[in-house]
């Protein structure tokens, strides 16, 4: 943390302090003032200025040459680096506990950058099955066509499955810390142990958790990626992605076939015949990712987007703690509702992931989770069409609460069998809880339940729920002993439909 406004202290500042102070607003990569930057002309703004400039002026011939040679680390061109973007990168790296960060144009670009920095044609990636559909398609279709093969592990918390999937060509494992949409928390230390035993790097998508809830690098991850479009930006206005690099992985690792990452250990003409590892050590991958992958493929974010993401990050802990608290309240309420078959939220006493959540997510289990309605597709459709306060949208981590029906949208490209295996049934709905008052959210959900009961599917659903209630399983459900009183209308609503 390098903010000149912080008092010197031997203690590492807390998360909320770092989210508003880490990184130097608008300074050059070396901390010096840049042209048009904060100190230019005696102007010293407290907020990071937005440097909307394609390139940066060279003082003279020598400076231009040195910046291209990398011996002067000032800015040259925004595709390679920009002061606004750089300030945000410093802040995110500090929050994740990483060595550095690279901002790109979207979460998809972040996943692409991480994979392209590590793997080449002929290499193999192993991924958890329970991941965002866009990442799954990227691995199967896009990287598959480039000769990078991916296989999938059904139970991400089974070390034997990861072990069995490893081939001599396996270079990376990929998981999400809180997977989308089932909230089936991953034991990152377990996956990292298998990866490192084989000289494999672990990439963790930390979008749903954010560094406020979990810092994967501290549990053994080597790279962290984010869709910054979600909680980091937080207001549903901007797309962005970030790759954060840790410092634990030895990029010079070898096996019986030689160097496992030859692009980082072979001589490079542009480095005067040195390799990335020789020149940059533990930062070899980070430098390669920025200078070779990002600067050539070009997933450059606008500095305006970097500014907006930084604005979002300054309230990250406040939003995420409230959203997690509200999500737990909503999940508990849903779990006790007679029309709900199941709720997938790791914070619930009934969740099989509760122990992992206690270990990895003690501050909260995030605000995105799924629940399954009795009545299948028809009930889900009526419910979806009946919400008012919740927004029907394919997004998450927004200040506003959102709802989506994965089986007909985000996961429509999976076969019914694949969806069934992933626990994504026709009655499943995903919620992303915002910062609204919880009572207002519950009122909205309650009136949507009312619409389900009043609709076509209502009678059958009510009968099924009645039978379930009569069987007594509801009273036995661990969540039923929660402190939230059932809403007065739970039973009234139900009785009215019977
Ligand atoms: C877990 C996860 N990773 C990555 C992405 C892709 O992010 P973006 O939409 O910013 O490209 C998403 C999008 O929903 C996501 O949920």
Q: How far is the CA of 107 from the centre of ligand 1 (A)?
A: 5
Rounded to whole angstroms, how far apart are CA atoms 32 and 22? 16
- Kindly report the average pLDDT of the chain as a whole number: 90
Tokens of 304: 């305006």
In the chain, % helix, strand, coil (3-state, to 5) comes to: 45, 15, 45
**Choice among 327-331, 353-357, 460-464 with the minimum mean pLDDT:** 460-464
β-bridge pairing 402-404 and 428-432:
antiparallel
Q: How far is the CA of 95 from the centre of ligand 1 (A)?
A: 19
Closest CA to 117 of 131, 130, 104, 133: 104
37 or 122, greater pLDDT: 122
Higher per-residue confidence, 21 vs 39: 21
pLDDT, position 465: 65
Q: Compute the distance from residue 114 Cα to the ligand 1 centre, in Å.
A: 14
Distance CA 371, CA 374 (A): 10
Q: Is 80 exceeded by the pLDDT of residue 490?
A: no
Q: With bands split at pLDDT 50, 70 and 90, how would you rate the model's confidence at 102?
A: very high
Instruction: Give the pLDDT confidence score for residue 365 in this predicted structure.
Output: 97
pTM, two decimals, is 0.91
Ligand 1 atom 8: the closest Cα is on which residue? Answer: 107
How far is the centre of ligand 1, averaged over its atoms, from the C-alpha of 227 (Å)? 5
CA–centroid distance, residue 109 to ligand 1 (Å): 9
Section 188-216 average pLDDT: 98
Residue of 103, 107, 398 to test ligand 1 pocket, by largest number of atoms within 8 Å of CB: 107
Q: How confident is the model at residue 26 (pLDDT cuts 50, 70, 90)?
A: very low
pLDDT on residue 393:
96
Ligand 1: distance of its center to the CA of 335 in Å?
A: 27
Pocket test for ligand 1, best of 230, 240, 402, 432 (most atoms within 8 A of CB): 230
Per-residue pLDDT of 447-463, as tens digits, reads: 999 999 998 767 777 77
Q: Hey, whose CA ends up nearest to atom 9 of ligand 1? A: 107
316-497 and 15-313 share a CATH fold: no
Share of the chain above pLDDT 70, in %: 88
Q: Are 401 and 432 in contact (CB under 8 A)?
A: yes
In this structure, the residue with its CA closest to atom 14 of ligand 1 is 395
Ligand 1 centroid to residue 397 C-alpha, Å: 11
| Least confident stretch, 40-49, 124-133, 271-280, 416-425 | 40-49
Nearest to 470 by CA among 338, 333, 337, 331: 338
**Confidence band of 481 (pLDDT split at 50, 70, 90):** very low
The C-alpha torsion from 335 through 439 and 327 to 420, rounded to 10°, is 40
pLDDT for 34 beyond 50: no
Give me ligand 1 centre to Cα 226, in Å. Answer: 7
Between 472 and 387, the more confident residue is 387
For ligand 1, residues with CB inside 6 Å are 106-108, 132, 134-135, 176, 180, 205, 207, 227, 229, 239, 241
* DSSP per-residue letters across 38-78: TTGGG---SSPP----SB---SSHHHHHHHHHTSS-S--BT
How many helices (H) and strands (E) would you count in the chain? 22, 14
Task: Determine which residue's CA is closest to atom 2 belonging to ligand 1.
Answer: 132
How many angstroms separate the CA atoms of 185 and 292, rounded?
33
pLDDT in tens, 224-283: 999 999 999 999 999 999 999 998 899 999 999 999 999 999 999 989 999 999 999 999
pLDDT at 32: 40
Give residue 115's pLDDT band: very low, low, confident or very high (50, 70, 90).
very high
Q: Which residues contact 379 (CB under 8 A, 6 or more apart)?
A: 339, 373, 427, 452, 455, 457, 461
Q: Does the pLDDT of residue 483 top 90, yes or no? A: no
Spell 472-489 as b/e; 16+ CB within 10 A means b.
eebeebebeebeeeebeb
Residue nearest atom 16 in ligand 1 by C-alpha distance:
132
CATH of 15-313, one of 3.40.1410.10, 3.40.640.10, 3.40.50.300, 3.40.605.10: 3.40.640.10
The pLDDT value given to residue 25: 52
Q: According to the model, what pLDDT value does residue 7 have?
A: 57
The total of other beta-carbon atoms located within 10 Å of residue 12's CB is: 11
Atom of ligand 1 nearest to the CA of 208: 1
CA of 241 to the centre of ligand 1 (A): 8
Q: What is the pLDDT of residue 42?
A: 73
Residues 317, 363 contacting (CB under 8 angstroms): no
Determine the 3-state secondary structure of 85 from DSSP.
Answer: helix
Average of per-residue pLDDT across 327-356: 97
Q: Which CATH class is domain 316-497?
A: alpha beta
Atom of ligand 1 nearest to the CA of 108: 11
Lowest mean pLDDT among 28-42, 105-119, 401-415, 447-461: 28-42
Strands (DSSP E) contained in 148-291 are 149-153, 170-176, 201-205, 223-227, 241-245, 254-255, 258-259
Bridge partners (DSSP) of residue 173 are 126, 202
The C-alpha atoms of residue 294 and residue 437 are separated, in whole angstroms, by 41
Region of 374 please: left (phi>0), alpha (psi -120 to 50) or beta: beta
């Amino acid at each position: 943390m390098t903010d000149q406004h912080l008092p010197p202290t031997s203690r590492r500042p807390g998360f909320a302090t770092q989210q508003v102070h880490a990184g130097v607003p608008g300074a050059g990569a070396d901390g010096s003032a840049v042209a048009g930057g904060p100190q230019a002309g005696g102007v010293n703004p407290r907020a990071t200025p937005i440097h909307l400039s394609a390139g940066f002026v060279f003082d003279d011939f020598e400076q231009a040459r040195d910046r291209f040679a990398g011996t002067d680390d000032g800015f040259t061109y925004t595709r390679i680096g920009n002061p606004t973007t750089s300030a945000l990168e410093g802040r995110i790296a500090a929050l994740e506990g990483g060595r550095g960060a690279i901002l790109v144009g979207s979460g998809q670009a972040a996943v692409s950058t991480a994979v392209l920095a590590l793997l080449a044609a002929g290499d193999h990636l192993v991924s958890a099955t329970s991941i965002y559909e866009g990442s799954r398609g990227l691995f199967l279709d896009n990287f598959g066509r480039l000769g990078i093969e991916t296989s999938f592990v059904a139970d991400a918390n089974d070390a034997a499955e990861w072990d069995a999937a490893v081939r001599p060509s396996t270079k990376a494992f990929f998981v999400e810390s809180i997977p989308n949409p089932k909230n089936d928390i991953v034991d990152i230390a377990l996956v990292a142990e298998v990866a490192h035993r084989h000289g494999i790097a672990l990439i963790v998508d930390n979008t749903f958790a954010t560094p406020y809830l979990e810092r994967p690098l501290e549990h053994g991850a080597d790279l962290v990626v984010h869709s910054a479009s979600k909680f980091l930006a937080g207001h549903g206005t901007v797309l962005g992605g970030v790759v954060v690099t840790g410092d634990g992985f030895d990029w010079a690792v070898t096996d019986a076939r030689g160097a496992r990452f030859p692009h980082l250990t072979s001589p490079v003409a542009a480095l005067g015949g040195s390799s990335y590892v020789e020149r940059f050590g533990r930062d070899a991958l980070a430098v390669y990712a920025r200078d070779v992958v990002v600067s050539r493929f070009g997933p450059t974010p606008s500095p305006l987007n970097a500014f907006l993401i930084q604005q979002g990050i300054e309230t990250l802990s406040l939003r995420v703690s409230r959203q997690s608290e509200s999500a737990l309240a909503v999940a508990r309420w849903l779990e006790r509702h007679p029309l709900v078959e199941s709720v997938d939220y790791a914070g619930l006493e009934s969740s099989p992931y509760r122990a992992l959540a206690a270990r990895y997510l003690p501050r909260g289990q995030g605000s995105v989770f799924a629940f399954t309605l009795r009545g299948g597709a028809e009930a889900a459709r009526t419910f979806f069409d009946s919400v008012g306060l919740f927004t029907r949208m394919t997004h998450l981590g927004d200040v506003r609460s959102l709802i989506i029906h994965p089986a007909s949208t985000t996961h429509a490209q999976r076969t019914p069998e694949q969806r069934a295996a992933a626990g994504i049934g026709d009655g499943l709905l995903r919620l992303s809880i915002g910062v609204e008052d919880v009572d207002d959210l519950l009122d909205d959900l309650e009136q949507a339940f009312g619409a389900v009961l009043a609709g076509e599917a209502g009678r059958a659903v009510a009968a099924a729920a009645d039978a379930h209630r009569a069987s007594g399983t509801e009273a036995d459900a661990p969540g039923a002993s929660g402190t939230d009183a059932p809403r007065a209308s739970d039973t009234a609503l139900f009785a009215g439909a019977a």
